[in-house]
Chains A and B, each alone.
Chain A
Amino acid sequence: MNFNSITQIFIITWMNLRNIPQRLGTSAVAVFGVACVVGVFTGVLSMAAGFERTMRNAGSPDTAIVLRAGATSEMSSGLDYETTQQVANLPGVAKDEVGTISSAELFVVVDIAKRATNSSANVPLRGVQPEAFKVRHTFKIIEGRNFEPGKNELIVGRGAQKQFANLDVGAKIKLGQTEWNVVGLFESGGGVAESELWCDAKILQAAYRRGNSFQTIRLQLTSPAALKELKSAIAADPKFNLDVQLESEYLAAQSEPLSKFIKIVGYPLAILMAIGAIFGAINTMYTSVSSRTREIATLRAIGFGALPVAISTLVESLVLSFLGGIIGSIVVYLVFNGYTVSTLNFASFSQVVFDFAVTPQLLIQGVIFAAVIGFIGGIFPAFRAAYLPVAAALREV
């Protein structure tokens, strides 16, 4: 390609783009179509991204979680008191002046209505030991105060408070025969703990007739590498029948089925919609070429090459799709980013509250997607423009 044909490409493309207002209707349809596709694509995947973010934000690299061997979630695990004591004193577990930094916990669900729909939801209720707040570095009370050990007091995660009814600080809530006072609101780095209600483990044991048993124990490791040490200590003792893993790994596994499900539905959905939009885009560009038949033929007659004409058509298609992609992304970002929802995570059989996360990565994916639609939509009409029989076209009306 020589310098001349590059100039030609610029001239024709610029002319094309300036003429778009004359084909406003068709062009707007193409833009809108791409915007919708990119919007749905980004919207659905931002759900998966938000869910994963919530599940992963919680785990810190030096927190380990111990479950009964084979348990698929905290709900299906069970540990007796002696085991939790022995595990906490194994090598690799961090200590401070009070003792080992570990929290044996109970995890149950309670039936509370969703604020928006008033339908019942499995809200997670966690009974924790005092060290729980040291194991979770990001934990912070943001309203009210922490619960006092030995009292029927609850503190509520930020997400749970938003989604479920009657969990404001100061509220009283009756679960079974026990009445609880909501005394505080907490956050925990945007993690899954914010979907939960917390109380004193001893009180929960009594309320749920769990004797002195627990379900899991969370441990602060002396360093991320200490996991190995802890693992071999547990494996060495035949009386333990336990699984130990990093909390972050545990949560990643818990989030997998649901985010996989969203993606399995989301990607084919987006691809089908894109195919529909490609048909729309091809139609638009054919119309654009046919309405410019005489113009193109004239250009060819006065010496413009076939390639610049083809490229200008392709560029027009790309520009329209880009525009659509950007509009779709912006709308989804404005409408959905940070929108809070909750769903039942089957892995833990409890509700997880999360925000839609329209991440920069998703936005870039969306725009690339738009470009692909524009390219496929433009390439065939571009060929037609290039191979237009000049003499016949000039005669057309």
Chain B
Amino acid sequence: MYYLFFIVKNLGRKKTRTILTILSILVAFLLFGLLRCLSVAFDAGAEIAGEDRLITINKVTLIQPLPYSYLSKVRALEGVENVTMANWFGGYYQEKKNEFPQFPVDGDTYFDIYKEMYTLPAEQMAAWKSDRVGVVIGRALAQKFNWKVGDRIPLVGMFAQKNGGTTWEFVIKGIYDAKEKRADTGMMFMHYDYFDKSRQFGEGTLGWLIIKVKNPAQADQVASAIDALFVNSFSETKTSSEKDFAKSFAKQFADIGLITTLILSAVFFTMLLVAGNTMAQSFRERIPEVAILKTLGFSDAMVMFLVLAEAFVVVLCGGAAGLAVAAKVIAILSDKFAANLPGLHFSMAILLDGLMAMLLLGLLTGIIPAIQGLRLSIVAALRRR
């Protein structure tokens, strides 16, 4: 406590300088918090993907359909607990910029396979099943467009109906919530049966299969068994774990992780120089005082500790404030972008990473003056004046 008082007094000597240094560190850690959250959000799909789920797509590409018969063939395989499917809908609401993900699915199996991620009240499920043109939507999507159960939603889809029209009218029958915080509640699900019977082209095909395996340890075997089943057929398949699928999809966009790491390195290197330089300078100005401390009986190690502690105090003040601001900003943004970037939130892991970065930055900025303090010879230092 006593030493802390001493350190704070020393920092208070040139208030402007200390405040400016703390502020620049604050900015660095604010950036750290924001960019790390963004980068984590992009990988969130892979993070929360189930160990026991596989995705089967057409080997040629994701957009190429698979025959509907694959569903029952895969269901019959050993090691498969449950199978469901989904298809693209690719529609928008009123204006082209209002695009959001919509998928025709089989409601029962879909919500069963994803039961640890989404919940839908039983009566809404029943109501949905009893209405051909019924849909269920996620909470974030409902908030984005201010939709409620019972609303009629016309969507312009990429699939034409039998009569040639591309406007599909749906009725909201339920709103699902996320059980796992980062799960995507920006989607809409409609009945595949209705969709398939109404579309002009492509009847009897589906987009991709989602498989729940009995034993996650056997996921790889099951995946190979599925692909082996359809080898040399017209529609060969590619089956991967949901995690790998989500990862490779995120990678298609960009290596966000690499870009943020590069930017943060530039920021931190600059901060290291700015803070380090300030520390070194304030130490130089106080060399005679340090010599007096040593004359009074402070040990070399104690002097080193005091100088180093000063650096830590500055970095921790700035860093903690920066992360706090980042957490606040992320909280605001994650509400706003819940439908677009569901994984955006400030996690414990980011906080710990931030703490590590603070300790490292404190050590690096304080170490040179600290060693100078350790080695300082009293006589030489006092003479310098």
Residues of A within 8 A of B (CB): 25-26, 29, 32-33, 36-37, 39-40, 44, 68-72, 75-78, 108-111, 117, 119-122, 175-177, 208, 213, 241, 253, 265, 269, 272-273, 275-277, 279-280, 282-283, 286-287, 341, 343-344, 346, 349, 351
Interface segment among B2-10, B55-63, B70-78: the answer is B55-63
Contacts of B235 in A (CB 8 A): 176
Do the beta carbons of B63 and A72 come within 8 Å of each other? Answer: no
B303 to chain A, nearest CB (A): 22
Interface assignment of B234: CB less than 8 Å from any CB of chain A: yes
Secondary structure dominating the interface of B: helix
What are some 5 contacts across the A-B interface (CB < 8 A)?
A25-B280, A29-B273, A111-B61, A177-B234, A286-B20
Do the beta carbons of B281 and A26 come within 8 Å of each other? Answer: yes
Contacts of B158 in A (CB 8 A): 71-72, 75-78
Contact mask for chain B residues 36-61; partner A; CB cutoff 8 A; 1 contact, 0 none:
00100000000000000000001111
Q: Which 10 A-B pairs have the closest CB atoms?
A: A76-B158, A276-B27, A279-B24, A176-B60, A344-B252, A280-B274, A70-B156, A36-B270, A111-B61, A119-B251
Complex CA distance for A145 and B61, rounded to whole angstroms:
27
Partner of A36, one of B27, B34, B267: B267
Q: A69-B166, A241-B164 are in contact. Are A272 and B236 (CB under 8 A)?
A: no
Partner of A272, one of B31, B58, B160, B273: B31
Assign chain B's interface to a size class.
35 or more
Given contacts A40-B267, A72-B90, A276-B267, 19 further A-B contacts (CB under 8 A): A25-B277, A29-B273, A36-B267, A36-B270, A40-B263, A70-B156, A70-B167, A75-B158, A108-B63, A119-B248, A175-B60, A176-B236, A213-B201, A241-B164, A275-B27, A276-B23, A283-B24, A286-B20, A344-B252
Contacts of A32 in B (CB 8 A): 270, 273
A68 to chain B, nearest CB (A): 7
Contacts of B280 in A (CB 8 A): 25
Contacts of B160 in A (CB 8 A): 68, 78
B131 to chain A, nearest CB (A): 25
Partner of A68, one of B166, B267, B277: B166
Partner of A277, one of B17, B38, B92, B270: B270
Contact mask for chain B residues 64-103; partner A; CB cutoff 8 A; 1 contact, 0 none:
1000000000000000000000000010100010010000
Contacts of A121 in B (CB 8 A): 252
Complex CA distance for A264 and B164, rounded to whole angstroms:
39
Q: A26-B281, A33-B273, A71-B158 are in contact. Are A109 and B31 (CB under 8 A)?
A: no
Partner of B277, one of A29, A76, A109: A29
Most buried by A among B23, B167, B274: B274
Q: A29-B274, A70-B156, A273-B27 are in contact. Are A36 and B253 (CB under 8 A)?
A: no
Residues of B within 8 A of A (CB): 16-17, 20-21, 23-24, 27-28, 30-31, 34-35, 38, 58-64, 90, 92, 96, 99, 156, 158, 160, 164, 166-167, 201, 234-236, 238, 248, 251-255, 263, 266-267, 269-271, 273-274, 277-278, 280-281
Contacts of A276 in B (CB 8 A): 23-24, 27-28, 31, 267, 270-271
A109 to chain B, nearest CB (A): 5
Complex CA distance for A208 and B64, rounded to whole angstroms:
8
Partner of A349, one of B60, B63, B274: B63
Complex CA distance for A141 and B251, rounded to whole angstroms:
31
B67 to chain A, nearest CB (A): 11
Do the beta carbons of A39 and B266 come within 8 Å of each other? Answer: yes
B175 to chain A, nearest CB (A): 25
A174 to chain B, nearest CB (A): 10
Do the beta carbons of A269 and B263 come within 8 Å of each other? Answer: yes
Contacts of A68 in B (CB 8 A): 160, 166
Do the beta carbons of B17 and A286 come within 8 Å of each other? Answer: yes
Q: A110-B61, A120-B248, A177-B234 are in contact. Are A265 and B270 (CB under 8 A)?
A: no
Complex CA distance for A37 and B24, rounded to whole angstroms:
13
Most buried by B among A76, A286, A351: A76
Complex CA distance for A366 and B160, rounded to whole angstroms:
49
Do the beta carbons of B201 and A344 come within 8 Å of each other? Answer: no
Closest to B252 in A: A344
Most buried by A among B21, B28, B167, B281: B281
Do the beta carbons of A272 and B27 come within 8 Å of each other? Answer: yes
Partner of A280, one of B64, B164, B270: B270
Contacts of B38 in A (CB 8 A): 265
